[in-house]
Amino acid sequence: MQKRLSEFDIHPEAIVYRKPDDIAALANGVTELNCQEIGRSRDGQILYGYSFGSGNKAVSIIAGSHADEPIGPMTAQILYFHLQEHFPELLTQFNFRVVPQMNPDGADRNRPWFANTLALDTYLNHVVRELPGDDIEFGFGSEGDERPECTAMQSFLSEGGPYVAHFSLHGLGFAEGAWCLICKEWNEKAQGFMDSFGALCSDVHFPQHDIDRKGDKGFVRIGKGYTTTPHSEPMKEFFLAQNDQETAAKFKPTSMEYVQSLGGDPLCIVSELPLFFIGVPSEDIEHLTTNAFKDELLKLKARHSTLTPELVAPVCAKFNVSPTPLDLQIRLQTGMIVLALQELHH
């Protein structure tokens, strides 16, 4: 399995920024890949859900909740084809419900900086991220004021639960490698997955991002490259401790919490792969190169309203920063899903 994951051919149409019509078109003529309209975005774009696989264990996957993280949707949109060609056994062991683009409106706003080889200055000049209250990942529930994207996802996934696993595909702007978040209910049961995903990272020569946020906002380190998933209640507590009731009130349950509410004991994992890889490793976990790099970027942005390649080049050189190949990000996100399901099947 490790060899297959490190060597399988990435689908030639994987790296594509798709509009909703293009997402639907992927399923045209593919009998085993069911595509259905599940709702509309805030701006009125169609949201689609995929379902495929004949197994008796249900898996849910969502991608694109954060507007500035385009690789998760690309992984999710092409996942059926990768499984069908390279890991067909999973299609007979599991059945999948996938929302391959949770946030087409946000994706559109971030389209100007996307390219097959990313440029840091273009990214920094044009990236758009939604604030608390508009954050889809922290927007699930039944209070009646949820974003329509969240309501659509809940309706679609509720038909297929309970689930044995849930994956929310995310990304980072900058990091020193791959980072995975695992729900706290599984932090002692997921060692097999953690070992195998760490081995995959080694096989493809991409390190793991090690960080210890010491429980801040629910992030608890459980191993090198692994942290617990965020949770709405610690998020609220963080802002309440700062006497910021307004921001605290904007955090609703995450997609992980919603899937857990459908029953069972699902393994919930969030992928966090960096768009830009920081090649200078940290001295230790208390002194992250990532933080030093971000500090330099903030100073640069404070001095210049628009960044150019010439302005960012010295900072990139200092920290050995380079764009993470998009096909590598897709390989690792796909590998995360495959390895976790392999553990569950055993």
The SS3 assignment for 261 reads helix
pLDDT at 133: 84
* Sole residue written with tokens 């297929």: 160
b/e code 268-301 from CB counts within 10 Å (16+ = b): bbbbbbbbbbbeeebeeeeebbbeebeebbeebe
Q: Is the pLDDT of residue 217 over 80?
A: no
Q: Is the pLDDT of residue 43 over 80?
A: yes
Percentage of the chain exceeding pLDDT 90: 85
Q: Can you name the CATH fold of 2-286+321-341?
A: Aminopeptidase (3.40.630)
b/e code 38-58 from CB counts within 10 Å (16+ = b): bbbbeeebbbbbbbbbebebb
pTM for this entry? 0.96
> What are 69-102's pLDDT values in tens digits?
999 999 999 999 999 999 999 999 999 999 999 9
Backbone angles phi, psi at 182, to 5 degrees: -125, 135
The SS3 assignment for 15 reads coil
Distance CA 254, CA 264 (A): 17
User: What does 188-217 look like in DSSP terms, one character per residue?
Assistant: TT-HHHHHHHHHHHHHTT-PBP----TTGG
The whole-angstrom distance between residue 300's C-alpha and the CA centroid of its chain comes to 28
Backbone angles phi, psi at 220, to 5 degrees: -120, 125
Domain coordinates in residue numbering, the chain: 2-286+321-341
pLDDT at 234: 75
> What are 154-192's pLDDT values in tens digits?
999 999 989 999 999 999 999 999 999 999 999 999 999
pLDDT at 109: 96
Which amino acid is present at 160? G
Helix residue ranges per DSSP H, the chain: 2-7, 20-25, 71-86, 89-93, 104-110, 120-126, 148-158, 191-203, 232-241, 245-248, 255-261, 289-303, 309-319, 326-345
